[in-house]
Amino acid sequence: MRKKLLHIICLASMILLFSCSGDVTDELPALTRAQLSINLLNNGDVDQQEEINSIRFIVFGSTPGGVRLDVNEHILLSTPETATDIDAQLLKVTSSNDILVVVIANEPQSLTSKLDGIASHWTLQDMLYDISDILNSDGQIISTTGMPMIGVVRGISIAPDETQKVEMVIERAVARVDVFLEAIDGGAVTGYTAGSTSVTLHNLSHDSYFVMGNVGNGTRDNADSSKNYGKVKENVPEIDLLTDTWTAATSDTWAYSSATGAKNRRLLCSFYTAERIFKSDYSDRLAVSMAYVPKGPSDVTGITEKVIETITKVDDKGSPTAQPFTEIRRNNVYQITARVGKIGIQILTVTVEDWGDRQDIDLDMDL
């Protein structure tokens, strides 16, 4: 069930401007023409590619009368392509001292009419979507839609006859939770049993703001809020919190091995969830239940609604810093590892795997 990862770089070879010519039939008097060339590149890992079915380019420019929509172009690809296979797209833009560019890949069909009618960058920022619209009955991304991905860059100043190059990162608009099972200790045996072993994730949510800025583009997490773009859901009502359960369809067991390359840790299941900030009282934080997990040849073990409250983040120097688990952020994979030994089951490590750079978070949770 684990989806392949991708860190997509959007290279905007931007922007070639030139004056209107009488030879051009669609003249725009008193406006400056420009070409916006967008190229998509991946990180070179063929196992981390996503297919792209559609791309939308939205450009807002600052004018004396205020911010106005300059470009809103939706391109459907005849066949799904990976980032490196998509030809550069050329867009006409006008000169401005404060341009905002939004790139959307694989937009949900439920949002297409709304995106077609966007006229204000404030309306775009406030747009909501339900991630269940992009999931099939098995909880996986619908292939005909693909993984929605978004990039935002702002503050671009373009004068007539100027050429610029802008690098953009586009990121997935969802988060994912992976649950792993690991055998530890000499001789420990674990695994899963068809129709019995189950994993339940509590306090999932599906509602999210659609468009969000990116740290890599300088449009998120700035102390100066005027440089940021986007919103994150807070104080999600209890009625909107969900549970989802995976039950093993096949059976497998494995024993701990110290041999080089031994696969003591294996993926059980994955869940997609929306980006949001948790409440301060822990009442809506993620929790995990596991049932009928084999612990040896004849015994089973499990846990019930273990809430993930406190995490210890390890910095680039290897120093741990304890902090609350405060949010689910898009474009992150939250990996929860349950370890089974001779005594019982423990969840000792939660790692946050960004679809770009990796960050490690350790969670001590004795069960």
Q: Are residues 91 and 106 in the same domain?
A: yes
Q: Are residues 184 and 263 in the same domain?
A: yes
Give the max Cα distance, the chain.
Answer: 84
Interval 169-202: pLDDT, tens? 788 899 999 899 999 887 789 999 999 999 999 9
* Percentage of the chain lying above the pLDDT 70 cut: 72
Query: What is the number of domains present in the chain?
Result: 2
**Residue 303 near residue 202, CB atoms below 8 Å:** no
Q: Are residues 138 and 276 in the same domain?
A: no
Interval 353-365: pLDDT, tens? 655 444 443 333 3
In a domain, 144, yes or no: yes
- The span from the CA of 267 to the CA of 337, in Å, is 9
Q: Are residues 167 and 259 in the same domain?
A: no
> How many other CB atoms sit within 10 Å of the CB of residue 272?
21
Interval 257-293: pLDDT, tens? 989 888 999 999 999 999 999 998 889 999 999 999 9
Q: Are residues 162 and 189 in the same domain?
A: no
Q: Are residues 258 and 332 in the same domain?
A: yes
User: Which CATH number is 47's domain given?
Assistant: 2.60.40.2580
User: Does pLDDT of 47 surpass 50?
Assistant: no
Q: Are residues 200 and 148 in the same domain?
A: no
In a domain, 200, yes or no: yes
User: Which CATH number is 353's domain given?
Assistant: 2.60.40.3380
In a domain, 28, yes or no: no
Give the residue numbers spanning the domain of 130. 8-20+33-172
Q: Are residues 267 and 335 in the same domain?
A: yes
* H or E segment to which residue 40 belongs: strand 33-41
**Residue 314 near residue 329, CB atoms below 8 Å:** no
Q: Are residues 250 and 164 in the same domain?
A: no
User: Does pLDDT of 307 surpass 70?
Assistant: yes
Q: Are residues 13 and 119 in the same domain?
A: yes
In a domain, 219, yes or no: no
